Amino acid sequence: MRLKDRVAIVTGGGKGIGAVYSSRLSEEGAKVVVADIDFDAARETAKKISASGGSAIAVDVDISDQASTEAMAKSAISEYGKIDILINNASLMSVLPRRPWYEIPVDEWDRVMSVNLRGMFLCCLSVFPAMKERHYGKIINISSSRIYEGMPNRLHYTTSKAGVVGFTRALAREVGEDNILVNAISPGFTQSETQVSSSTPEYMKAHIDRRCIRREEYPEDLMGTVVFLASSDSDFITGQLINVDGGYSMH
């Protein structure tokens, strides 16, 4: 119960890895705002958390829209009175075709940036006043271990996830005096319904064969790092990137 009575917003928290984040934070005692553009999924995850004895609400949010992210923060404060933790998990990836960079449509590039970078910026902006007022906050941004490898065929996604790292470091400098800590995690190729649906078995096996720990990575493998960064155990850590990919990349 390292997060007892903390209030956490998880974007993209209704399904996939985000749903596991939401559930695990609840198990650690947090009150969870499950924020997702797929509102049905958000409600289902919040319902499961509540049925398990936790406290959660579902919020319909488009993180690329400022009014929507502001409404998300207001819902959290209205329900729970504060915001302690923000997990910037929502992003565009699995729906993106794998193709050479010169075949990426400009509007698709812009959409990826609007969600993966602008969306993260807007979410941080929306929770900042509440965190600043209480002189406390933990922001955890989700990057990707593909940034170390320069993996081809989803250039916009890789670029956006590299941007998460620069954003994390610069924001940590700006909000440190408010006791708001900003860190990032770079997961490896992680098994979830969205990942599996967009990848062939051969592609997945190639990743496993390059890991030091030669097995599939599951959302649960990320949870210890997320809880650590969200809890008081990491109160003197900020501006950092923690790689969790079974030794696929060395960082």
Of 80, 136, 157, 248, which residue is the catalytic one? Answer: 157
Phi, psi of 177 (to 5 degrees): -70, -15
Q: Say if residue 141's pLDDT is above 80.
A: yes
Which pLDDT score, from 0 to 100, does residue 175 have? 98
Which pLDDT score, from 0 to 100, does residue 197 have? 54
Q: Say if residue 23's pLDDT is above 90.
A: yes
Q: Which domains does the chain have, with CATH numbers?
A: 7-243 (3.40.50.720)
Greater pLDDT, 175 or 190: 175
In whole numbers, what is the pLDDT of the chain averaged over residues?
94
Q: What would the pLDDT profile of 237-249 be if each residue is shown by its tens digit? A: 999 999 999 888 8
Which pLDDT score, from 0 to 100, does residue 128 have? 98
Q: Is 211 exposed, middle or buried (0-12, 13-18, 19+ CB in 10 A)?
A: middle
- Average confidence (pLDDT) over 196-225: 82
Which pLDDT score, from 0 to 100, does residue 193 have? 64
Is residue 157 annotated as a catalytic residue, yes or no? Answer: yes
The CA–CA distances, whole Å, from 129 to 64, 66, 72, 84 equal: 19, 15, 13, 11
Its pTM stands at 0.94
**Band of residue 150 on the pLDDT scale cut at 50, 70, 90:** confident
